[in-house]
Structure 1
Amino acid sequence: MALITISGYPCSGKTRRTEQISAILEQYIKDPTYEGPLRKVISLSDDTLHLKRASYDDSGSEKPMRGTLFTAMQREMASDTILIVDSLNYIKGFRYQMYCAAREMKLRVCTVFVVATQDLCRLWNKTRKDELKYNVETLENLIFRYEEPSSMVRWDSPLFTVLWTDNIPPVSQIWEAITKGAVKPPNSGTLAAAKAPVDALHTLEQTTAAIVSNILAGQTGAGGRLNLNSSPTLKPYIILPSRNMTLSELQRLKRQFVTVHRKAITLGTIEKGAVDWAEDSITSKFVTYLEENLKS
């Protein structure tokens, strides 16, 4: 039901803060007075996923490493879980991707910015075990490329900053955010595309072809209203210009209409509400399209 994104310089103390936050949140969940849906706290990190620090040495290995982290995050998201992602999360685009995934799952979110000076990060990197150390050049590169979280952007909000001098993070405020904060609905970028019926393409082709045939057979050159017998409802007529339309002209407009709507059928659509691919709906749309494009 909640995603907590940890972000900060390499070797800034993110894992220690994650452990503190996790321990206190588990106490809140176990409190007899708590009756909410949360039941567990899960922490994901480079270490728990066995991702080596050397993966950050070049972009070729870093990108799949982020993919592994993102996949694991999606797998652990659940309505009864507080998921803490303890990694550098230094690229704002990646934090936005995580935010969108959380919105799709209707999770509450917050970001914890773990702050330490660059000199402290360099010192703490030196004191680590070899397998947990960053290459000196890599460390400097990551510090230089770090994109600091901002409370002004929605994917980093609410934002809690924890300084290296703080004894513990503001866990009570974090708890408030992930249990009582607003649950934002998925946006259009996270919605799954609505698929058309399997016979939609066939209906599109047959309906538009029938309308073209009806126009060719029924036009008189005088223009005005022509009833269409291809659809019993919606708009079973078309207003024609005062001239005869040629087959090539009508076929050209039909191809244009079908091409546009074929993309929506094959690729799906994220329009609000159900998209109607029934014969009546296609007839209405195609007739309107013809009336707008046929010139007298």
Structure 2
Amino acid sequence: MPLVILCGLPGSGKSRRAEELREALSAQEEEEGGGGEERRVFLVAEGEAAAGGGGGRAALRAEAERRLSRRDVVVVDAGNELKSFRYELYCLSKQAGTPHCLVLCPGGAPRPDRPALEAPDPRHRWDRPLFAAPADPARPLPLPEIRAALFERRPPPANRSTRAQPLQAAAFLHQLDRLTQDAVAALMAAQRGGAQPGQLVPLAVDGLGQGSPGLLLRRPVSLAELSRLRRQFLTYAKMHPGEGEGHLPRLGSMFLQYLNSNLQ
């Protein structure tokens, strides 16, 4: 069930590297001997996922989650330019209890219809282990190191950000929507009031619970970016139904953690 996330600009050779991984990991299974359950390698490509229903990154994420299993390998063949989306894929791997790794393909060129590449940073847990594909397409990937990262490493332990969360009643969904809206509005108001990068912004919002640490403002943030992150968090949360109303402060704290992780 390991997950491999390819990352890079259009034209950087991601699909070629995805096929190289498929062949190498499948061949590795054959070398390990005929007994036992066969390991399959699935390529989840951005265009194919969107064509199968839905659109864009949501369809890609849904297809990757559907393919994750106890035995198979999933290779996500897409630009994955946004670190927020790489974080979502990382959360899928944590929820499934599987290791993951990232393969960065150099080269290529930006396109106006694609987001700018937010370069992977191995200091972030969702961007490691990070492997760089050789710039020369004739040179192979570091396959022994990739295999070790996928098959010899323990999966990361589950934590609050990847546990199934309580979202059953329509009234509770409305409360969560209102809580995240209020948190975004409070952060925008703090910026208008003079909050500066490096400052911890307290967010006095009903539902966040007592002792909320607030949000560390690392840089100026626009309403459009906050709204996009809020929608991503709600989409992820709605995919994981749980127990109900008693967990609203916990989800509020998770939303602040999500913002802190992505507003760097």
The two structures have a TM-score, normalised by structure 1, of 0.53
Residues 90 and 147, structure 1, Cα contact 8 Å, conserved in 2: yes
1:80-115 CA-partner distances (Å, limit 9, x unpaired): 111000001000000001101110000110000011
Identity of aligned residues (%): 25
Tell me which amino acid in the other structure corresponds to 1:15: S
Number of positions where the alignment pairs a residue of Structure 1 with one of Structure 2: 176
Residues 43 and 77, structure 2, Cα contact 8 Å, conserved in 1: yes
2:76 is matched with which residue?
85
Structure with greater Cα Rg: 1
How far does residue 33 in structure 1 lie from its aligned partner after superposition? 4.5
Tell me which amino acid in the other structure corresponds to 2:135: W
2:43 is matched with which residue?
43
Which blocks of at least 5 consecutive residues in structure 1 are unaligned?
53-62, 123-137, 196-259, 273-296
Higher mean alpha-carbon deviation, 39-48 vs 185-194, is at: 185-194
Given candidates 158, 164, 167, the residue that maps to 1:186 is 158
CA distance, structure 2, for counterparts of residue 98 and residue 70 of structure 1: 7
Tell me which amino acid in the other structure corresponds to 2:120: P
Q: 1:34 to 1:169 in 2, by over 3 A?
A: farther
1:6 is matched with which residue?
6
Given candidates 101, 107, 112, the residue that maps to 2:98 is 107
Q: 1:35 to 1:267 in 2, by over 3 A?
A: farther
Confirm whether residue 170 of structure 1 aligns to residue 142 of structure 2.
yes
2:20 is matched with which residue?
20
1:293 is matched with which residue?
none
Confirm whether residue 72 of structure 1 aligns to residue 63 of structure 2.
yes
Confirm whether residue 150 of structure 1 aligns to residue 121 of structure 2.
yes
Over the residues paired in the alignment, what is the CA RMSD in angstroms?
Answer: 3.2
Residues 101 and 149, structure 2, Cα contact 8 Å, conserved in 1: yes
Which blocks of at least 5 consecutive residues in structure 2 are unaligned?
168-209, 211-242, 251-264
CA distance, structure 1, for counterparts of residue 151 and residue 36 of structure 2: 8
How far does residue 171 in structure 1 lie from its aligned partner after superposition? 1.2
Misfit runs of 4+, over 3 Å: 32-38, 140-143, 268-272
Local SS of the residue matching 2:22: helix
Residues 46 and 57, structure 2, Cα contact 8 Å, conserved in 1: no
How far does residue 268 in structure 1 lie from its aligned partner after superposition? 4.2
The two structures have a TM-score, normalised by structure 2, of 0.59
How far does residue 174 in structure 1 lie from its aligned partner after superposition? 0.5
Where do 1:219-238 residues align within 5 Å?
none
Local SS of the residue matching 1:142: coil
How far does residue 146 in structure 1 lie from its aligned partner after superposition? 0.8
CA distance, structure 2, for counterparts of residue 50 and residue 271 of structure 1: 35
Tell me which amino acid in the other structure corresponds to 2:247: T
2:245 is matched with which residue?
267
